[in-house]
Protein backbone atom coordinates (compact mmCIF):
# COMPACT_ATOMS: atom_id res chain seq x y z
CA UNK A 1 0.00 0.00 0.00
CA UNK A 2 1.13 3.57 -0.77
CA UNK A 3 3.71 2.25 -3.25
CA UNK A 4 2.98 4.97 -5.82
CA UNK A 5 2.73 7.72 -3.21
CA UNK A 6 6.05 6.70 -1.66
CA UNK A 7 7.75 6.81 -5.07
CA UNK A 8 6.36 10.30 -5.75
CA UNK A 9 7.21 11.40 -2.20
CA UNK A 10 10.83 10.45 -2.92
CA UNK A 11 10.74 12.44 -6.15
CA UNK A 12 9.47 15.46 -4.19
CA UNK A 13 12.32 15.07 -1.67
CA UNK A 14 14.90 15.15 -4.45
CA UNK A 15 13.20 18.20 -6.00
CA UNK A 16 13.12 19.94 -2.60
CA UNK A 17 16.87 19.45 -2.26
CA UNK A 18 17.47 20.96 -5.71
CA UNK A 19 15.24 23.95 -4.96
CA UNK A 20 16.93 24.72 -1.63
CA UNK A 21 20.56 23.58 -1.93
CA UNK A 22 21.94 26.91 -3.13
CA UNK A 23 19.89 29.15 -0.83
CA UNK A 24 21.39 30.98 2.15
CA UNK A 25 19.75 31.56 5.52
CA UNK A 26 19.24 35.19 4.52
CA UNK A 27 17.54 34.21 1.26
CA UNK A 28 15.29 31.76 3.12
CA UNK A 29 13.50 34.70 4.74
CA UNK A 30 13.38 37.08 1.79
CA UNK A 31 9.96 38.18 0.63
CA UNK A 32 10.21 39.62 -2.91
CA UNK A 33 6.42 40.03 -3.16
CA UNK A 34 4.37 40.79 -0.02
CA UNK A 35 1.87 37.96 -0.57
CA UNK A 36 4.40 35.30 -1.62
CA UNK A 37 5.39 32.51 0.76
CA UNK A 38 9.18 32.61 1.36
CA UNK A 39 11.25 29.42 1.67
CA UNK A 40 11.31 29.64 5.47
CA UNK A 41 7.50 29.39 5.58
CA UNK A 42 7.27 26.75 2.86
CA UNK A 43 9.83 24.45 4.47
CA UNK A 44 8.41 25.02 7.96
CA UNK A 45 4.96 24.21 6.64
CA UNK A 46 6.14 21.05 4.89
CA UNK A 47 8.03 19.91 8.00
CA UNK A 48 4.94 20.30 10.17
CA UNK A 49 2.74 18.62 7.57
CA UNK A 50 5.03 15.59 7.79
CA UNK A 51 4.16 15.64 11.52
CA UNK A 52 0.46 15.43 10.66
CA UNK A 53 1.15 12.42 8.47
CA UNK A 54 3.09 10.83 11.31
CA UNK A 55 0.22 11.54 13.69
CA UNK A 56 -2.15 9.65 11.38
CA UNK A 57 0.34 6.78 11.54
CA UNK A 58 0.15 6.86 15.35
CA UNK A 59 3.47 8.65 15.89
CA UNK A 60 4.33 11.77 17.89
CA UNK A 61 4.98 15.20 16.39
CA UNK A 62 8.70 15.84 15.88
CA UNK A 63 8.72 19.57 15.14
CA UNK A 64 8.64 22.16 17.92
CA UNK A 65 5.08 22.96 18.98
CA UNK A 66 5.52 26.64 18.04
CA UNK A 67 6.24 25.63 14.45
CA UNK A 68 2.72 24.24 14.10
CA UNK A 69 1.35 27.73 14.82
CA UNK A 70 4.09 29.55 12.88
CA UNK A 71 3.70 27.44 9.72
CA UNK A 72 0.19 26.00 10.02
CA UNK A 73 -3.07 26.95 8.35
CA UNK A 74 -3.81 30.69 8.49
CA UNK A 75 -0.28 31.51 9.67
CA UNK A 76 1.46 34.60 8.35
CA UNK A 77 4.92 34.33 6.77
CA UNK A 78 7.76 35.81 8.80
CA UNK A 79 5.77 35.98 12.06
CA UNK A 80 7.07 33.69 14.79
CA UNK A 81 5.81 32.96 18.30
CA UNK A 82 9.38 33.00 19.59
CA UNK A 83 10.22 36.11 17.58
CA UNK A 84 13.02 34.23 15.79
CA UNK A 85 12.89 32.25 12.57
CA UNK A 86 14.30 28.74 12.49
CA UNK A 87 17.47 28.45 10.42
CA UNK A 88 17.60 26.80 7.04
CA UNK A 89 19.56 23.92 8.59
CA UNK A 90 16.95 23.41 11.32
CA UNK A 91 14.09 23.43 8.82
CA UNK A 92 15.77 21.14 6.33
CA UNK A 93 16.80 18.68 9.04
CA UNK A 94 13.25 18.59 10.42
CA UNK A 95 11.74 18.24 6.95
CA UNK A 96 14.10 15.43 5.90
CA UNK A 97 13.71 13.56 9.20
CA UNK A 98 9.92 13.80 9.01
CA UNK A 99 9.96 12.78 5.37
CA UNK A 100 12.07 9.69 6.08
CA UNK A 101 9.98 8.70 9.09
CA UNK A 102 6.67 9.15 7.27
CA UNK A 103 7.96 7.20 4.28
CA UNK A 104 9.04 4.39 6.61
CA UNK A 105 5.72 4.04 8.46
CA UNK A 106 2.97 4.99 6.01
CA UNK A 107 2.58 1.47 4.63
CA UNK A 108 1.98 0.06 8.11
CA UNK A 109 -1.02 2.25 8.96
CA UNK A 110 -3.96 -0.10 9.62
CA UNK A 111 -6.73 -0.17 7.01
CA UNK A 112 -9.37 0.77 9.59
CA UNK A 113 -7.41 3.95 10.43
CA UNK A 114 -7.03 4.82 6.74
CA UNK A 115 -10.79 4.47 6.28
CA UNK A 116 -11.58 6.99 9.06
CA UNK A 117 -12.98 10.39 8.14
CA UNK A 118 -10.26 13.03 7.94
CA UNK A 119 -10.72 16.09 10.23
CA UNK A 120 -10.05 19.01 7.84
CA UNK A 121 -13.40 20.50 6.84
CA UNK A 122 -11.96 22.63 4.02
CA UNK A 123 -10.59 19.51 2.29
CA UNK A 124 -13.53 17.20 2.89
CA UNK A 125 -15.27 17.87 -0.45
CA UNK A 126 -12.15 16.44 -2.13
CA UNK A 127 -10.42 14.27 0.48
CA UNK A 128 -12.72 12.22 2.67
CA UNK A 129 -10.58 9.66 4.53
CA UNK A 130 -7.30 9.63 6.43
CA UNK A 131 -5.88 7.39 3.70
CA UNK A 132 -6.77 9.93 1.03
CA UNK A 133 -5.31 12.69 3.23
CA UNK A 134 -2.00 10.81 3.51
CA UNK A 135 -1.94 10.37 -0.27
CA UNK A 136 -2.58 14.10 -0.69
CA UNK A 137 0.14 15.09 1.81
CA UNK A 138 2.70 12.88 0.08
CA UNK A 139 1.91 13.97 -3.49
CA UNK A 140 -0.29 16.92 -4.42
CA UNK A 141 0.15 19.00 -1.27
CA UNK A 142 3.94 18.96 -1.31
CA UNK A 143 3.93 19.55 -5.08
CA UNK A 144 1.77 22.67 -4.64
CA UNK A 145 4.22 24.16 -2.16
CA UNK A 146 7.30 23.22 -4.15
CA UNK A 147 5.69 25.02 -7.08
CA UNK A 148 5.51 28.09 -4.83
CA UNK A 149 9.20 27.66 -4.01
CA UNK A 150 10.06 27.36 -7.69
CA UNK A 151 8.11 30.56 -8.44
CA UNK A 152 9.87 32.28 -5.51
CA UNK A 153 13.25 31.33 -7.00
CA UNK A 154 12.33 32.82 -10.38
CA UNK A 155 10.97 36.00 -8.76
CA UNK A 156 14.32 36.32 -6.95
CA UNK A 157 16.16 36.04 -10.27
CA UNK A 158 17.56 32.60 -9.43
CA UNK A 159 17.89 29.90 -12.07
CA UNK A 160 15.29 27.21 -12.55
CA UNK A 161 16.22 23.75 -11.33
pLDDT at residue 87 is higher than 90: yes
Least Cα distance to 49 among 147, 151, 139, 124 occurs for 139
pLDDT at 20 over 90: yes
**What is the spatial distance between Cα 8 and Cα 139, in angstroms, rounded to a whole number?**
6
Q: How far apart are the first and last CA of the chain?
A: 31
Give 41-86 pLDDT, tens digit per residue.
Answer: 999 999 999 999 999 999 999 999 999 999 998 899 999 988 899 9
pLDDT number for residue 82: 84
Q: Which domains does the chain have, with CATH numbers?
A: 3-21+35-73+82-155 (1.20.120.450)
Model pLDDT, residue 1: 86
Nearest to 145 by CA among 48, 64, 78: 48
Amino acid sequence: MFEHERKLFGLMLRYTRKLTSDLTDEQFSQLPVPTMNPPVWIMGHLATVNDFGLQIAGREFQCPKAWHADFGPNSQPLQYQSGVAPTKAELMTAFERGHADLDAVVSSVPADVLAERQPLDFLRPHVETLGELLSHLMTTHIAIHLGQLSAWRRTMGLPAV
